[in-house]
Structure formats: C-alpha cells, structure tokens
Chains A and B, each alone.
Chain A
Amino acid sequence: NAGVTQTPKFRVLKTGQSMTLLCAQDMNHEYMYWYRQDPGMGLRLIHYSVGEGTTAKGEVPDGYNVSRLKKQNFLLGLESAAPSQTSVYFCASSYSSAWSGELFFGEGSRLTVL
C-alpha cells in the first residue's frame, strides 16, 4: 500500500527553469492538495482539487499551476522558477465524505532554486 507518492524527492533548478512535481495516490481519494513548508511558517496551501478535472487556488498560488487530469494524480508546475520558491513541497489527499480532517501526506519534495 503506497499511499501518497511524490516525485522527484529532490531537485535543484536555476532561476527561470520550469519543472513539474508529480503526486500519485492509490487510495481513491477525491481531494488532493499541494502545500509548501518553509521554516517558521508551517504549511501553506498552494492549490487544491476536489475531484478529477477540478482545481482551485489556495493561500499562495502565484507562480504555480496545477492539473488533475486523472483522479489519482495531481501535478504541480513551476513555469519560471524563482529563488523564493525554494521550499519543501508536500502533496496530501483525503476522503470527500465522512470528513474528519485526516490528510494523508507524501514524504515531501525538496526544491532548491539557485
């Protein structure tokens, strides 16, 4: 049972480069989320999705795009990376019904933008 899997786990980019982070979950969850974690700031929601084909902006969406073409996958894209996007990125998923707040997290993707 893999749960939530993120790839890649580490990446170094130069300013202006683009990349995509992939999140895959095998729990048939409807809801998926991308958070970023920065020291002293906790987790901040970037974008989220409440179902296949739908996405919505979170707290800090600027500079990121997302897609949910398949229910099990949620992609986070950076079109033109900036040093301010250096962070640890976490994907999470949850059930849509019987909501009790349990988000299932991936292990994180550490991104450094030079």
Chain B
Amino acid sequence: GEDVEQSLFLSVREGDSSVINCTYTDSSSTYLYWYKQEPGAGLQLLTYIFSNMDMKQDQRLTVLLNKKDKHLSLRIADTQTGDSAIYFCAESTGSSNTGKLIFGQGTTLQVKP
C-alpha cells in the first residue's frame, strides 16, 4: 500500500537553511504536499507540487521532487524561530478522486536563536 516516510526531528540555528526530506511509494500520486502544524493547532497547507514538476519555489520555500527516487524535499531559507513547527509530507492516493491524502509521520523542526 501507499506509505510516506519522514525523519522525526531536525534542529537548526536561526538564519540557516532547513531541509526536510520525505520518501513516498505511490508512483501514481498526482500531487505531493507539505503541511505545517503549529503547537495546539490543526494542519495548514504550506505548498504543493504537481507530479510533472521537478521544482517549485515560493518565497523562502523550495520544493524539490525526484520522481525516479520517489523523494520530496522542502527547503526553508533563512529559517526563523516562527518556522518552528511539525512539517508533514503527504501524497494523494491517486486512485480515485476522493481527496484522500496519505501523511508521513511529521518532522519536528526546532529553530534555535
């Protein structure tokens, strides 16, 4: 079945770049997503990439997709303390138009001042 894997924890210093990695298994996924969860809150969509793209940039965020290796990464430039949160990678199941997503375990990003 579909599976999404992420490392659980990343610690960086303020001002550095953060790179959060994710691997997925469903090669038919149409979209791949990054969601952000701040403490005590629900998830919010951060960005997404269509499966026929290699890269997407949105201000401080860069998403890289390697379809051959089924690897997705999120780079946050100039990381700020406000970026501290849990980041979830997710893929669409692709097999039906139900909007179902498969989420990874989440990567906790800790930004030290």
A binds B: yes
Q: Is the interface of A mostly helix, strand, loop or mixed?
A: strand
Contact A101-B101, Cβ < 8 Å, known A4-B42, A42-B4, A107-B42: yes
A4 to B31, CA, bound (A): 23
Interface size on A, residues (CB 8 A): 27
A47: min CB distance to chain B, Å:
11
What 1/0 flags go to B15-57 for Cβ under 8 Å of A?
0000000000000000101010000111111001000000000
A17 → B minimal CB distance (Å): 25
Kindly list the 4 A-B residue pairs having the minimum CB-CB distance in the complex, ordered from nearest: A105-B42, A43-B103, A42-B105, A42-B103
Which one of B4, B33, B43, B45 contacts A90 once the chains associate, using CB atoms below 8 Å?
A: B43
Residues of B within 8 A of A62 (CB): none
Chain A CB within 8 A of B70 CB: no
Among residues of B, the one whose C-beta sits closest to the C-beta of A35 is B103
- B105 proximity list for chain A (CB < 8 A): 40-42
Interface hits, A72-107 → B, CB 8 Å: 90, 92, 94, 96, 99-103, 105-107
Complex Cα spacing A48 to B100, Å? 8
Among residues of A, the one whose C-beta sits closest to the C-beta of B93 is: A45
A101–B42 touching, CB < 8 Å = no
The distance in angstroms between the C-alpha atoms of A108 and B41, with both chains bound, is 7
- Partner pick for A99 among B4, B88, B97, B103, CB 8 A cutoff: B97
Question: Would you give the shortest CB distance from B37 to chain A, in whole angstroms?
Answer: 8
Q: Which residues of B contact A43 (CB under 8 A)?
A: 43, 88, 103
| Contact between chains at B40 and A101 (CB < 8 Å) | no
Task: Indicate whether A103 sits within 8 Å of B45 (C-beta atoms), given known contacts A41-B105, A48-B100.
Answer: yes
For B33, the chain A residues whose CB sits under 8 A away are 101
Q: Does chain B have a CB within 8 A of A27? A: no
